[in-house]
Amino acid sequence: MCHDRRVDLPDADACYRALRSRDLRFDGRMFVGVMSTGIYCRPVCPARTPKREHCRFFASAAAAQEAGFRPCLRCRPETAPGLGAWCGTSATVARAVTLIAEGALDGGAAGIEALAERLGVGARQLRRLFHRHLGASPVAVAQTRRVLFAKQLIQETQMPMTDVALASGFGSLRRFNETFRDLFGRPPSALRSRRAHQAGVTLRLRYRPPYDWPAMLAHLAARAVDGVEVVAEGRYRRTVAHEGRLGTVEVAHEPAQASLVVTIRFPSVRALPAILARVRRVFDVDADVDAIGAHLAQDPFLAPLVASRPGLRTPGGWDGFEVAARAVLGQQVTVSAARRLAGRLVALCGEALSGPSHPGLTHAFPSAERLAAADLGALGVPAARRAALAALAAATLADGRLFAPFGSVEAAMTRLRSLAGVGEWTAQYVALRALRDPDAFPAGDSGLLRAAAAALGGRPAPVTLLRRAEAWRPWRAYAAQHLWAADVEGNSAVREVRHG
């Protein structure tokens, strides 16, 4: 039976029907613990379906593991899309899970208070939300993440076991080995498959189909900054800066496996969780586009847009400061002009990569420190925009939490709006691309207003579009993406004009 009626699960009979039919729609949304074996599985596991009375259903892998079940070696719960953490459950829980994926609780339970503070809630309330939506505590979620990520690294890469332990957040190799022996009854090395060695670390990120890969690549290609990003051969490549070190990441699509294939070349294995978390955000891996589309399609205007692009995702930004700087550069100019300006900024003060890399990847996007120290006079933008960039860099250096999920999204946007040169459009755009607020909606955007004109009998005022968008909550960001896609399709060139 479903072990906790508070958890966001269908009733037990529906859970079992989904298991028996191996319904893909439930993959990552629920897990089944089989009491006769002590194993928990994804609902799509190819093993013979257990009897109904032997099944317990859980809203997350962490809940199943906390209840004493061990992961199935056949269906590999670590490869489930979203691992039950999709943001449709709770915005606070979703943001917490994102931070946990980046290692926020790798120090153990002592980090709960700090995590709760970053989210703007009390520690007790955070635990209550986790038990309600995921059926497990934050610490259990972090522990399960460590084990499942380590298991994925073991089975999909040839990384040394010491590196696997470090990359997945274990404090020591001894603790890593003990955990795997306790959970699987064997050492970690016994789970390794033999495969040819590859340069870098290559992993697969599962998503819940459909996925409009061409639309995602087109969005990224239209904005790819020279030296930092390359979109070619159906792949996205970019430079990566993390804690003073530089590397690269490459993302390709594997539709037959409903996966993105991510290859990371970086000098520190400890950075892998943070880099993968960014890839998930940029490519919107964990979105349930079916559920979002069904909601948006209730509006007769959006229905045909959703039907024409059923797998459309909302692309994210790689880094909050980068998104904000590019948004400032793009105020009042076209996307292509903003891209050229960003390329100039990279050439002016971006840090150069050393060693071999993919052709075209030469620099990291400038950090706040490098931008603050640069002479922006050669950038070729108005003085007010140079001042806005300088103010943005200074504010980022003064407040390291400026673009971090700290407190509410509304509080973060208020901090952004207080900066010189940052208006409502820029704040909403940063919330959408960097803070990953699924309800962000830059109503003053020219592209949105053009696309909405067909439905509203003429180009609306932003306040009119905002009123219409009330029915699209809590997924207005996805509605915006559908409108932008329709606007681009209706024009021979991308003409999204920025309004700061």
Residue 495 in this model has a pLDDT that exceeds 70: no
Question: Looking at the 3D structure of the chain, how many domains does it have?
Answer: 1
**Owning domain of residue 400:** 320-353+366-489
Per-residue pLDDT of 146-159, as tens digits, reads 999 999 999 888 89
Residues across the chain = 500
In a domain, 435, yes or no: yes
Of 86-95, 252-261, 391-400, the range with the lowest mean pLDDT is 86-95
In a domain, 103, yes or no: no
- Rounded Cα gap, residues 308 and 122, in angstroms: 43
Measured N-to-C along each axis, helices 383-398 and 320-329 cross at an angle, to the nearest 10 degrees, of: 170
What CATH code is carried by the domain that includes residue 325?
A: 1.10.340.30
What the block records as the tokens of 270 is: 């400890």
- The C-alpha angle 145, 30, 60, rounded to 5 degrees, equals 30
Q: Could you tell me which of 442, 441, 453 has the C-alpha nearest to residue 487?
A: 453
In a domain, 196, yes or no: no
In a domain, 405, yes or no: yes
Q: What is the CA radius of gyration of the chain?
A: 23
Residue 90 in this model has a pLDDT that exceeds 70: no
What the block records as the tokens of 114 is: 């700090």
Residue 194 in this model has a pLDDT that exceeds 70: no
Q: Could you tell me which of 96, 79, 104, 303 has the C-alpha nearest to residue 204?
A: 79
- Cβ atoms within 10 Å, residue 178: 13
Per-residue pLDDT of 343-360, as tens digits, reads 999 999 999 998 777 889
- Rounded Cα gap, residues 116 and 154, in angstroms: 32
Per-residue pLDDT of 302-342, as tens digits, reads 999 999 999 999 999 999 999 999 999 988 888 899 999 99
Q: 406 falls in which pLDDT band (50, 70, 90)?
A: low
- Cβ atoms within 10 Å, residue 128: 14
Q: 498 falls in which pLDDT band (50, 70, 90)?
A: very low
Answer for the pair 289, 208: CB distance below 8 angstroms, yes or no: yes
In a domain, 375, yes or no: yes
Mean pLDDT, residues 465-472 = 93
In a domain, 211, yes or no: no
Task: Please give the DSSP secondary-structure letter assigned to residue 361.
Answer: B
Provide the whole-model pTM: 0.82
Q: Which helix (H) or strand (E) holds 411?
A: helix 409-417
- Rounded Cα gap, residues 130 and 138, in angstroms: 6
- Rounded Cα gap, residues 266 and 7, in angstroms: 38
Q: Could you tell me which of 259, 255, 32, 270 has the C-alpha nearest to residue 146?
A: 270
Q: Could you tell me which of 252, 242, 250, 221 has the C-alpha nearest to residue 315?
A: 221
- In the set 2, 41, 72, 349, the catalytic residue is 41
Sign of CA dihedral 421, 427, 429, 434: positive
In a domain, 499, yes or no: no
Per-residue pLDDT of 198-254, as tens digits, reads 568 999 999 989 999 999 999 999 999 999 999 999 999 999 999 999 999 999 999
Question: Is 41 marked active-site?
Answer: yes
DSSP E strand stretches across 201-329 = 201-206, 229-232, 235-242, 245-254, 259-265
- Rounded Cα gap, residues 79 and 385, in angstroms: 44
Answer for the pair 38, 68: CB distance below 8 angstroms, yes or no: yes
- Provide the mean pLDDT of the chain: 87
What the block records as the tokens of 296 is: 């948006």
Give CA separation, 50 vs 9, 17, 42, 77, 445, in Å: 19, 12, 12, 17, 53
In a domain, 388, yes or no: yes
Question: Is 2 marked active-site?
Answer: no
Q: 86 falls in which pLDDT band (50, 70, 90)?
A: very low
Burial of 307 (0-12, 13-18, 19+ CB in 10 A): exposed
